[in-house]
Chains A and B, each alone.
Chain A
Amino acid sequence: MISINNLHANVEDKQILKGLNLTINPGEVHAIMGPNGAGKSTLGNVLAGREGYEVTDGSVVFHGQDLLDLEAEERARAGLFLAFQYPVEIPGVSNLEFLKASVDAVRSQQGKEPLDSVQFLKLAREKIKAVNLDQSFLKRGVNEGFSGGEKKRNELMQMMLLEPSLCILDETDSGLDIDALQVVAEGVNAMRDPNRSFIIVTHYQRLLDYIVPDFVHVLANGKIVKSGGKELALELEEKGYGWLENGTGDA
């Protein structure tokens, strides 16, 4: 699915990722945990192709192609999806218009015809129901005036509509109450598939009670310093990150 090798990346000339290695196979769910400032969000942004994140070394191969060579929109069309920690509000652009443009773009890459408005509306209504948002959210501005939880559900709806092969959830649990967390987790679990992989970036173990990962990695000081199974998350919850950070020098 995706293979990240020795990835180094800078943000505003500051080195954030310092040789990150990670390989994810189809169908796997990987959780990435770690302290503030470790580079967790940077990883998601670098993979999604955000401007201002400069890769200085290393490579990323996604479905056999050089991911770093693609524009952000090409990465999305190739099946990569980043659920934002802070989804952007875009007043004046209706959610429905945005969603259709997005789905049409991804479909066209797959050689499919764009959906007509009626078909799309039907599909969008179905998905918005699945994430437990009112239909009225389709005609509102993109994320405009949405609460934190509503924004995250809107992200999940986009993920359902685009059906990506690799989903990166960047601290999707931050700012969510328990009910919203369950809705998001159920949505993600429903999308788990032998051909779809997930990278779940989170601070807390809580989300992993609902979305059970196959692997847990600790990202500290720009590298993965420890990897393990789902039980590692519990250990981290108990001990914190200090014992691992101290050991980064010789990891």
Chain B
Amino acid sequence: MPELFQHQQSELAASTVKLPWLTAFNQRGADAFRTAALPTRKTEAWKYTPLTALTRLAPQQCGQPVTYTNPLVAFARIDGLHDHRLVFVNGILDKQHSSASALAAVTLFSEANAEQQALIAQHLGHVAQQSESPNLFTDLNDAALSDGVLLHIRDHQPLLQISWLTTSEAKPFTVFARLLVVLERHAQAAIVEHYGSDLSEQNSVTNAVTEIVINDNAQLQHYRLQTMHSSAQHIGSCHVDLQRDARYHGFHAGFGSTLCRNDLVVHHNQGGSHCQLDGIYVPQHDELIDFHTCIEHRAAHCTSNEVFRGIMNDQAKAVFNGRIHIHPHAQKTLAELSNKNLLLTPGAEIFTKPELEIYADDVKCAHGATVAQLDNKAMFYLQSRGISKADAEVMLSFGFINELIEQLPDEAVRNLLRPMLATRFDRDSSLTHDIG
């Protein structure tokens, strides 16, 4: 593993065509990555997620147009959302499969004008760098960055989907995805950040970094969905900067893969901001999914509520680490964290850990992490209506996750996720749909 990284470190800087105005940015990332300590089994944040599965990092291919042959229609289409979408395939924007409206709504870094370059320079990397703990893979993304997507919202942005898709190619390759979202004061937006693939065996790893700035009184509904093939690897992070009275609702869904790691960090930088951070994970077979979340309460009078639920089947493994950090001046903070897990087989594993660090004395903070079997009362209720034990188990497992899906404000996303989950839990999705 270390050899691979050393290889990376030497290849990285020269390998791709970069944007001249981001040279210093690339260089900082490369320097940080070069000097970073590599995670080992003893590194707490990577203890349960060994990087040995990661053999595909190949930055020399990043920025080269990777051609693809499989037809996109089958997997790029998302019912209800497809009219307003941006599609990247193997890291390259596919204009043909993107909508004109979505193309008009975003700016590629490579096409940014002077004003937009200034906005990008103001925020890019700065949201991610607010984290106290360095993130090796964010540094790598910084170093390799050759282009990215800017979504700058001044007033209102209806649901917009950005999909990063991969196809199966001759050689292993890496996709570096970068998204910067800036909401101006009082702006409102809903975005779907989607990672998918075609249905064949994948040989890529996607390294994604999303930075989100929500200015005073602005509001973002953010969905981050990972629906790629189980062989597609993903190491990504999402960083949110909340200003005064800003509101962020994030919903993160992961179906699991041979390696899927997500670091989610929300910074309450000004008073009155609210964050609702929810997520689901449903790995099966020998898949692995890892969510490391961190809520930084740096300002007074902020609230955060975090609900993650997971179901592990077969030999699948999940890691959930939920950190809440309340800084000394963040008085009157209300922070809650709940993580509930179901293990469907003796071979399935969950490593869940809430981490509270509280340095203010006038706060309310609650957390709970459970690993449970299905509710006996509910089981009996279903069985007493003639439903077999096996069917009742499937139904309750589905319900456990579906409960969070039902609460999502956008019908298009509910309608996308429900049938996917229903398939995973072997349910007839026509009955779980809204029936009007």
Interface segment among A12-20, A25-33, A85-93, A224-232: the answer is A85-93
Q: Is the CB of A93 within 8 A of B402?
A: yes
**CB-contacts of B45-91 with A (<8 A):** none
Q: Is the CB of A101 within 8 A of B387?
A: yes
**Contacting residue for A139 out of B383, B403, B435, CB 8 A:** B435
Interface segment among A55-63, A68-76, A188-196, A206-214: the answer is A68-76
Give Cα distance in the complex from A88 to B398, angstroms.
17
Q: Is the CB of B386 within 8 A of A162?
A: yes
Q: Is the CB of B403 within 8 A of A141?
A: yes
Q: Is B235 an interface residue (CB 8 A)?
A: no
**Contacting residue for B428 out of A91, A97, A141, A162, CB 8 A:** A97
Interface range, B side? 20 to 34
Give A87's nearest chain B residue, CB to CB.
B381
Q: Is the CB of A93 within 8 A of B396?
A: yes
Q: Is the CB of B402 within 8 A of A77?
A: no
Q: Mark A81-121, 1 if CB is under 8 A from B, else 0.
A: 11010011011111011101110011001000000010001
Q: Is the CB of B386 within 8 A of A73?
A: yes
Task: Please indicate the chain A residues that have their CB under 8 angstroms from the CB of B435 in the complex.
Answer: 96, 121, 138-139
Task: Please indicate the chain A residues that have their CB under 8 angstroms from the CB of B401 in the complex.
Answer: 92
Task: Please indicate the chain A residues that have their CB under 8 angstroms from the CB of B399 in the complex.
Answer: 90-93, 141
Q: Is B35 an interface residue (CB 8 A)?
A: no
Q: Is the CB of A71 within 8 A of B395?
A: no
Q: Is B408 an interface residue (CB 8 A)?
A: no
Q: Is the CB of B395 within 8 A of A49?
A: no
CB distance from A150 to the nearest CB of B (A): 16
**Contacting residue for B385 out of A71, A96, A102, A141, CB 8 A:** A102
Task: Please indicate the chain B residues that have their CB under 8 angstroms from the CB of A238 in the complex.
Answer: none
**CB-contacts of B248-282 with A (<8 A):** none
**Contacting residue for B430 out of A48, A105, A117, CB 8 A:** A117
Q: Is the CB of A92 within 8 A of B380?
A: no
Q: Is B314 an interface residue (CB 8 A)?
A: no
Q: Is B186 an interface residue (CB 8 A)?
A: no
Number of A-B contacts (CB under 8 A): 103
Q: Is the CB of B386 within 8 A of A77?
A: yes
**Contacting residue for A90 out of B396, B404, B405, CB 8 A:** B396
Task: Please indicate the chain A residues that have their CB under 8 angstroms from the CB of B404 in the complex.
Answer: 92
Give Cα distance in the complex from A139 to B433, angstroms.
8
Task: Please indicate the chain A residues that have their CB under 8 angstroms from the CB of B406 in the complex.
Answer: 91-92, 141
Give Cα distance in the complex from A82 to B404, angstroms.
30
**CB-contacts of B367-414 with A (<8 A):** 375-378, 380-389, 391-392, 395-396, 398-406
**Contacting residue for A82 out of B376, B384, B398, B432, CB 8 A:** B384
Task: Please indicate the chain A residues that have their CB under 8 angstroms from the CB of B384 in the complex.
Answer: 48-50, 72-73, 75-76, 81-82, 84
Q: Is B44 an interface residue (CB 8 A)?
A: no
Q: Is A250 an interface residue (CB 8 A)?
A: no
| Closest 4 A/B residue pairs (Cβ) | A92-B399, A92-B403, A93-B399, A105-B386
Apart from A97-B428, A105-B388, A121-B435, list 16 A-B contacts with CB within 8 A: A48-B384, A72-B380, A76-B383, A76-B385, A87-B381, A88-B381, A90-B382, A91-B399, A93-B398, A93-B399, A94-B432, A101-B385, A101-B387, A139-B435, A141-B406, A158-B385
Q: Can you list 28 residue pairs at the A/B interface with Cβ under 8 Å? A: A48-B384, A71-B389, A72-B383, A73-B383, A73-B384, A73-B386, A73-B387, A73-B392, A76-B384, A81-B384, A84-B381, A88-B378, A88-B381, A92-B400, A92-B406, A93-B402, A96-B435, A97-B427, A97-B431, A98-B382, A98-B385, A101-B395, A102-B382, A105-B385, A105-B386, A139-B434, A141-B406, A158-B385
